């Protein structure tokens, strides 16, 4: 016969009423903040397609193996092929043969209006912020049309321009409070009772942490398409795959992992693993023998290493802002370049520590690669450390388009006439992508009178359609973009090719 168990009766403990148990709630992480931001923003931009991108971003991404030409090249290629990997060069050649004769070089005009969609998103976010600042019951007439903000030194910041340059400026919040708010005589304090409470009032702008407050809605207004500078867009029809470059990937739907790099007889590592979409910016830069190249934001060094593996550049300058990042580039180069100190350092490869906005060798480079700092969408959803959505980095995140545009505008001046530049980000944001390209080209024309031509790569990306999933052209104006897709989980990677006019 089973023995009955003794049950202890304990009284329930409630905290803050009967709304929840007295248990510790899950802490909101930086990843949660990033995901919430992306769901709101990208959900509005990409619609139903965002769900598939979201799943892919939350899944481990695929890699591509770049064979080191300064190691046991043939042996490494054989091992990778025996593991089932495919040489990208052969896939590109097959795609070229398949597309031969097809009319894929037409530059179809876009009927897609990204600026209209971003204007709606910006206004919706601004309405949320206004409602959060004003108490419940405030009428629409008492609320300002837009938020104005000032820095800690009481300098009013200009709002990023909207698509309508003739828009009349709206009243500031202070002006609205002075003119539109009705006096409620019932709240007048009788001096006989005391006025000490009046001196305890602290304006919201003086609250700790609000000195340099910036409305998040203004981030969306960096995207503009009103053109007041010469803009020319031409289809790019020529692409040459580097003869000496060996890149390997697994076919679409195959998520096998590459074997770890091994040490070769020459003392260098056999192959370098990198996100597959990262190979496209240096490939479309179209480096030629004897070119002088600068990688303005080079860390960790994978794209620079790829350009060196083509054996084409006469010299590459690898630049980055922080010493730790330059040290990381140096470490990668030592691991993959044979006789690094004797043949490379200070000769064909120069390491430079400098703010990319202050590079000043103007008009001296044939090719420039600008892979700017961005929100790094995949990293933001995978790592809490060094996450741009950390609460203390809000101002830095909202000012990213300004930083990107300043870097790109300065790097455009580094080009020789006729030279090519590739601008790239690992973000899905149209503001950091097309929006920044527009701002930078406008700035460099207004300040220095330089003009540039956008090279439309939409016909050439068909050569890589068996490897990547690309964003449809009608959603982009100045560039192309690899979007996350589970069977081919690369990216995101936006890239735009710009040529300096003669």
Residues placed in the known binding site for S-adenosyl-L-methionine: 297-303, 320, 355, 371
**Residue 233 in contact with residue 456, Cβ under 8 Å?**
yes
* Ordered strands of the 63-67 beta sheet: 86-87, 247-249, 63-67, 271-275
Q: Which residues contact 135 (CB under 8 A, 6 or more apart)?
A: none
Distance CA 319, CA 159 (A): 32
For β-strands 349-353 and 315-320, DSSP reports them as parallel
Which residue among 77, 264, 318, 426 is the active-site one? 426
DSSP at 156: B
Distance CA 407, CA 283 (A): 21
**Residue 352 in contact with residue 297, Cβ under 8 Å?**
no
Query: Which backbone phi and psi does 498 adopt, to 5 degrees?
Result: -130, 135
DSSP at 174: H
CA distances from 53 to 20, 56, 253, 384, 467 (A): 35, 5, 15, 20, 16
Q: Which residues contact 108 (CB under 8 A, 6 or more apart)?
A: 473
Residue located via tokens 């091994």 = 262
CA 5 to chain centre: 61
Structure tokens at 445: 């024309």
The SS3 assignment for 321 reads coil
Distance CA 269, CA 71 (A): 7
Residue located via tokens 């007439």 = 141
CA distances from 168 to 115, 164, 165, 171, 424 (A): 19, 9, 9, 10, 35
Asked if 426 is an active-site residue, the reply is: yes
Question: For the chain, what's the residue count?
Answer: 502
Distance CA 405, CA 435 (A): 9
Structure tokens at 63: 């890699």
Segment holding 422, helix H or strand E: strand 415-425
Distance CA 498, CA 377 (A): 24
- The separation between the first and the last C-alpha atoms of the chain, rounded to the nearest angstrom, is 98
Segment holding 91, helix H or strand E: helix 88-99
Closest CA to 453 of 283, 253, 235: 235
Catalytic positions: 426
């Amino acid at each position: 016969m089973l023995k009955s168990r003794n049950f202890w009766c304990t009284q329930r403990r409630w905290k803050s009423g009967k709304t929840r148990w007295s248990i510790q709630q899950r802490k909101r992480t930086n990843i949660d903040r990033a995901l919430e931001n992306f769901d709101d923003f990208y959900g509005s931009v990409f619609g139903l397609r965002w769900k598939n991108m979201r799943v892919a971003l939350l899944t481990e991404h695929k890699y591509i193996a770049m064979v080191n030409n300064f190691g046991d090249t043939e042996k490494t290629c054989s091992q990778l092929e025996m593991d089932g990997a495919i040489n990208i060069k052969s896939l590109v050649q097959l795609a070229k043969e398949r597309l031969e004769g097809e009319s894929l070089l037409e530059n179809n005009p876009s009927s897609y209006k990204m600026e209209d969609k971003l204007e709606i998103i910006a206004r919706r976010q601004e309405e949320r912020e206004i409602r959060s600042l004003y108490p419940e019951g405030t009428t629409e007439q008492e609320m300002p049309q837009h938020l104005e903000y000032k820095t800690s030194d009481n300098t009013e910041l200009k709002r990023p321009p909207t698509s309508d340059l003739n828009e009349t400026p709206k009243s500031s919040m202070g002006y609205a409070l002075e003119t539109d708010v009705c006096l409620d005589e019932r709240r007048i304090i009788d001096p006989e009772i005391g006025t000490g409470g009046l001196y305890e009032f602290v304006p919201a702008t003086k609250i700790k942490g609000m000195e340099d407050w910036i409305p998040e809605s203004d981030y969306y207004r960096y995207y503009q398409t009103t053109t007041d500078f010469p803009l020319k867009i031409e289809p790019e029809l020529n692409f040459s795959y580097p003869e000496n470059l060996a890149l390997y990937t697994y076919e679409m739907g195959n998520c096998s992992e590459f074997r770890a790099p091994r040490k070769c007889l020459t003392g260098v590592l056999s192959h370098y693993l990198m996100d597959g979409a990262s190979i496209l910016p240096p490939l479309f830069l179209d480096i030629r023998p004897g070119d002088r190249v600068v990688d303005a934001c080079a860390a960790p060094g994978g794209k620079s290493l790829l350009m060196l593996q083509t054996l084409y550049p006469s010299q590459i300058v690898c630049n980055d802002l922080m010493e730790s990042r330059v040290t990381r580039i140096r470490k990668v180069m030592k691991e993959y370049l044979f006789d690094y100190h004797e043949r490379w350092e200070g000769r064909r490869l120069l390491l430079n520590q400098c703010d990319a906005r202050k590079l000043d060798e103007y008009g001296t480079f044939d090719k420039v690669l600008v892979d700017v700092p961005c929100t790094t969408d995949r990293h933001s959803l995978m790592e809490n450390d060094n996450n741009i959505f950390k609460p203390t980095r809000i101002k830095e995140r909202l000012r990213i388009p300004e930083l990107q545009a300043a870097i790109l505008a300065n790097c455009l001046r580094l080009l020789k006439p006729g030279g090519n530049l590739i601008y790239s980000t690992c973000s899905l944001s149209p503001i950091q992508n097309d929006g920044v390209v527009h701002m930078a080209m406008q700035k460099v024309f207004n300040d220095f009178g330089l003009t540039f031509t956008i090279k439309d790569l939409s016909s050439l990306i068909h050569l890589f359609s068996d490897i990547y999933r690309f964003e449809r052209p009608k959603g982009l104006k100045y560039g192309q973009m690899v979007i996350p897709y589970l069977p081919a989980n690369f990216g995101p990677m936006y890239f735009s090719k710009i040529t300096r006019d003669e």
